[in-house]
Amino acid sequence: MILARLKLWAAGFGLVIAALAASWLGGRKSAQADAKVKGLEDYVDTRKRMDEVGRMSDADAARDWLRERERQ
């Protein structure tokens, strides 16, 4: 009788541990997916800002632009 209760208790404890492990692993996977999305969104924002600047055909104009930017 005591052995049967002990087995039942151990099985229940095992189920609780398995549920906790599954939720922890699911949370990690979700956090990784969120971090990947955030990284891609940052890339898109950076790329848009880079495209807005445009190209400078003259090296002197580019140096002047950088000097002006440093002053700000």
Distances in Å between the alpha carbon of 58 and those of 10, 61, 63, 67? 76, 5, 9, 15
**In whole angstroms, what is the distance from residue 9 CA to residue 4 CA?**
9
pLDDT by residue for the chain (72 residues), tens only, comes to 888 888 888 888 888 999 989 898 888 999 999 999 999 999 999 999 988 877 778 888 889 888 998 887
Half-sphere exposure of 34 (CA within 13 A, CB side): 6
**In whole angstroms, what is the distance from residue 58 CA to residue 26 CA?**
53
Residue (of 25, 2, 5) closest to 13 by Cα position: 5
